[in-house]
Each structure stands twice: as structure tokens, then as C-alpha cells.
Structure 1
Amino acid sequence: MLGTLLPVSGLYADTSTDSGSEQAIEQFLDLQVSRYAASIGSQDYHIRLKPLRDLPDCDEPLQKTLSDPEEPIGRLTITLECHRPQYWKARAKAEVEVFLPLVVAKQTISRRQLIKLDDLSLKRSNIAYLRRNYFTSPDDLIGQTSRRKIIAGKIISPKMVESPQLVQRNEEVIIEATYGAMTARMKGIALESGAKGNTIRVRNLSSNKEVFATVTGKQRVRTTF
């Protein structure tokens, strides 16, 4: 069962008797990273803590603050604070990798190409510096159109694709109008192009009035009266 990302406060108390050791800091990091990884559906991660200098003695568990507690991935700084016997502060550095199977181009995809399942594959990838600009399911890309050439093996980001234009400006469309339980269909002219879900202006050929309608399919829109 995957865990959930718990609310993270600014300070963390360590119950280890050797709170200044690398092992204690690694345990602290492992807890935070494992929670985050589980929240995005991963149990595949790696933590690399840079060697620490000798730390002064501390009579109480160190307080620890992550530089990015909400997304503890990539280059992180862990601030260590002690208040007894005297106050001191130090910083530790770490590199955190979290891996997910991400959608990549199986072969080179040409610009303006309609994407099919055969064009895609999954590849184990480090998401540390992708900031969620990726897809984890090929189903999210099928039927999309590439905005530019995508080379084989490249992780596909949302900026690389777009929904195809199902309605073109100045072409004839079918307007489906609903009023309560009643539905009427009539011919119209699209005054704007649009992809599925877009709201565009169309002219009703029966009344010659302009209305706003939502693109629902190829040369089809829906509006309400």
C-alpha cells in the first residue's frame, strides 16, 4: 500500500541518541523522501548524503529543516540546529533521486504527427528536475498531436504535444443545443478553430445568431439555451 504525503512542518525532531551522525540524518531524509515518493506512486529512490564535517556536541536531539519539504528531490539542504549546551547551526547537503516509469518516444515522432500507442514506451527515469512535466501513462498521449519533432527515447512533456483541432475556422459544424431534457441539432459555421473541450464562437445558420459552444468531436459542438 502506498503512503500519502503528510503535512510537513518546518522543524523535525530526531529521537536518535546520535542525532549528529550521518546515519541519523540519512534516516531523517529517508522518512521524508519515502513519504513523497509514495505520494506519487513510487518506491524507487536513492539518497546520497555528502560527507559531513565534525559537528559540535549537542545535549538534545538536533532540529532538522529541509530546504524543500514539499518536494524533497534533487539538490537539498538540511539545516541542523542545536540549542544546548550552546546554540549552533550547520548545514548538510544531499542529492535525492526518485524514479518513475515515464512515457518516452519509442521512435522519432515527426512534427504535427498524430500520436499512437505504437509511438510510445515507458522508461525508468529520475524525476528530480522534471517538476512534474511528464506523463506516466501512454493513454494520456494517444490522439494528441506533436508540436515539434520528438527524438526516440526523449521524455515527452506537456509542452511537446497538443490536442488536435477538431473544428476549423469557417467550416460547417453540427450544433447540438440542449434545453432541459430537450435536444436540438442544427447546422452552423465555426467562427474559430478549437480542440475538444474548447469554447468557440459559432454562427447558427438557421437564425444567423452567434453563440458560444463547446467542441465535442470532429465538426461537432454543444451549447445550451
Structure 2
Amino acid sequence: MTPELVVLDMAGTTVVDDGLVVRAFTEAIGSAGVSEEDDRFPKMLAYVEETMGQSKITVFRALLGEETAAQEANAAFERAYARLVAAGECTPVDGAEDVIRALRADGVKVAFGTGFAPATQTAILDALGWRDLADLALAPGEGVRGRPFPDLVLAAALRLEVSDVRRIAVAGDTPSDVRSGLAAGASVVAGVLTGAGTRAGLEAAGATHVLDSVRDLPSLLR
């Protein structure tokens, strides 16, 4: 397949996570009154790890069960993650930038998708100097649900005027990424092993391929 569009996840796929999500979550949930010593913390952390790739506000709603508390925790998460990014603790996955430039040079459109809020996504792009690297960057928001819903992929297809969803390839490091790509009708939905997901988990979610890294994506598409 020669794709018209490749939709790439960020943290864990094109951007090294290195525990930043967990660190930001720990701070955020602490602001909601749940410390690391709290009996609820291990189960909450396990849920965060299980739902990697999903919209963070959705995760906090599930954990806290009350909208105001969820919004406050999500805002605290965004602040914590942005601070870590600004401190230089944000690096690209080796070869990811080269992959994106090569795809675009071949006439393939590239979109970033994320489970982070738009402000957090922008902070990452700014820290890496990636504002203009891809054709489009999308995050969950009004009218666009987060993963595992297909909205991020479909919104990218609409905005970048893709002719057929079967000419979309998706790559991400979590089962949520895989489910989102499949729900959108993409022909290639690749799981990558540089982030939170395992080969068994990605395969169980239905990944069409499992790659060691996003670096392997161009050769797969060729």
C-alpha cells in the first residue's frame, strides 16, 4: 500500500516517554488528595498504565468520578508534564524525525495524534522544534474524542483531504492506538515497541504489524 496519510502517536512512538506520564500523573493525583502512600494509589497507577494513549481527562474522570476533581487533576497533569518538557526531559525516538521527513518527501501526509491536551501537545512540539515537522497535529477536544475512538484519525483524514481511509497507516505504542486505527478503517495499523505496549498486548488489540520502532515503518509501507 502507498498511503496518502500516516498518523503517528507522540509519547512512546515518536517521542521518548521515559516515565514522564507516570511522574506527571503522580503529581496530579497528589493534588487531588491521593499520595503515593495512599492505598488507592497502586490501583490508580495501574489504571493509568493500562489506559496509556487515551485522553487524559477521560482517565481522570474514570479515576475520580467527579467532573470538577477530574478537571483539576487534568490541569495539574498538564502543568507537571509541561514543566518536565520545559526542563529538557523530552527527546525524540531515534530516527523518528528522519522517518517523518522521508514520508513527506515522498508525498505522504503526516499527522501527529495524542492523548494529551492541545496545550501539552504544543509544549512537546515546541520543545523539540517540531511545530512544522508534520502536516497536522491533533489532540482530543471539542468534537474530537480521544482514543480508542477513531476521531483523531478521521479528523486528520478530513482535514488533509484523504481520498480513502484504506490509504491511511497508523502507528502507536498502545492498544488504544491500535483500536483507534482499526476503528477508523486504516489498512496498516502498526504497534511499536518503544513505549508502553507489549507485543502480546498490541497483537491482542489487532495490530496488523508489530515493529521494534517507528524507524521500521517506511520499509513496511514500501
TM-score of the superposed pair, with normalisation by structure 1: 0.21
| Structure richer in strand, relative to its length | 1
TM-score of the superposed pair, with normalisation by structure 2: 0.21
| Structure richer in helix, relative to its length | 2
Larger RCO, structures 1/2 (Cα 8 Å, 6+ apart): 2
Based on CA coordinates, which of the two structures has the bigger radius of gyration?
1
